[in-house]
Chain A
């Protein structure tokens, strides 16, 4: 029995985080702009944050609401940033 997340899924998450980061960087250097690409990039970043919380911080194995506190933190600025970008586009 182990108290932590096994290494294999953490390694898969690491590779995924690197690939998603490359996509974000590509969107930046290509000077893509607009709400759609901004929200895709933001969504991917929130997903990355969720993966860090679940696998690196190990919250996937914690009972109770701890995991959802981190999800809540990701959703809060995510929503506020989304609203602000909608305002700036309108």
Chain B
């Protein structure tokens, strides 16, 4: 148990992480794949630093900033949704989930604008090694955002249908854990691809 005296709460220690146990196996597998991709990017970069640095400068960091803030905000909204459900406030939970999905949609729109900008300049996966990694990594993550939005959408439908209670909302915690994983991956991807040189 953890005593949170500031908030006058006693927090019960869990034996297992929030959500379905299977999602944590899936999350760890996904994280391992991303770790390998990040390391592959970094070691490939070591072979041609000038090319990677020059190509990186053509990326729009403002788009990346908007997307990072959007995902962090979306994750926070999901935290609020789970907290609302713990208090049996299903309507609030639903609203926070919709807000989180909306933020995910903003991420997809901004990323699509960025992709379109690259393609209009004739930049694609075959341009050079940097852009091969850039498109592969960011699109792989993009698809995870889409998947996360589908899961959060299913959570929202079940919330609205009254399938979750303060005592039983494992499905909601499962979706939330997946969404936070998607956020966590982007927090490493953003500096690695856009900033570090």
Contact = CB atoms under 8 A, between A and B. Distances in A.
Given A27-B195, A56-B180, A84 B12 contact: no
Contact of B180 (A21, A57, A69, A88): A57
Contact of B196 (A18, A42, A60, A87): A42
Contact of B43 (A17, A25, A84): A84
B79 A10 contact: yes
Given A8-B7, A85-B42, A63 B13 contact: yes
Contact of B12 (A2, A21, A55): A2
A52 B105 CA distance: 21
Contacts of A24: 68, 190-191, 195
Interface string B7-46: 1011111111110000010001001101100110011011
Interface in A47-90: 48-49, 52-53, 55-64, 66, 69-70, 73-74, 76-77, 80-81, 84-85, 87-88
Contacts of A57: 17-18, 176-177, 180-181
Contact of A18 (B14, B28, B69, B194): B69
Given A28-B64, A63-B13, A56 B79 contact: yes
Interface string A6-32: 111011001001100110110111010
A82 B122 CA distance: 32
Contacts, number: 170
A18 B7 contact: no
A31 B28 CA distance: 34
A57 B194 CA distance: 26
Interface extent on A, as a size class? 35 or more
B180 A29 contact: no
Contacts of A44: 191
A37 to B, nearest CB: 8
A48 B9 contact: no
A25 B187 CA distance: 12
Most interface-central of A29, A53, A60, A88 (chain B CB within 10 A): A88
Interface of B: 2, 4, 6-7, 9-18, 24, 28, 31-32, 34-35, 38-39, 42-43, 45-46, 49, 53, 57, 61-62, 64-65, 68-69, 72-73, 75-76, 78-80, 82-83, 86, 176-177, 180-181, 183-184, 187-188, 190-192, 194-197
Given A52-B184, A56-B183, 12 more contacts: A2-B11, A2-B12, A18-B72, A21-B68, A49-B184, A52-B187, A61-B2, A61-B13, A62-B18, A66-B17, A66-B24, A85-B42
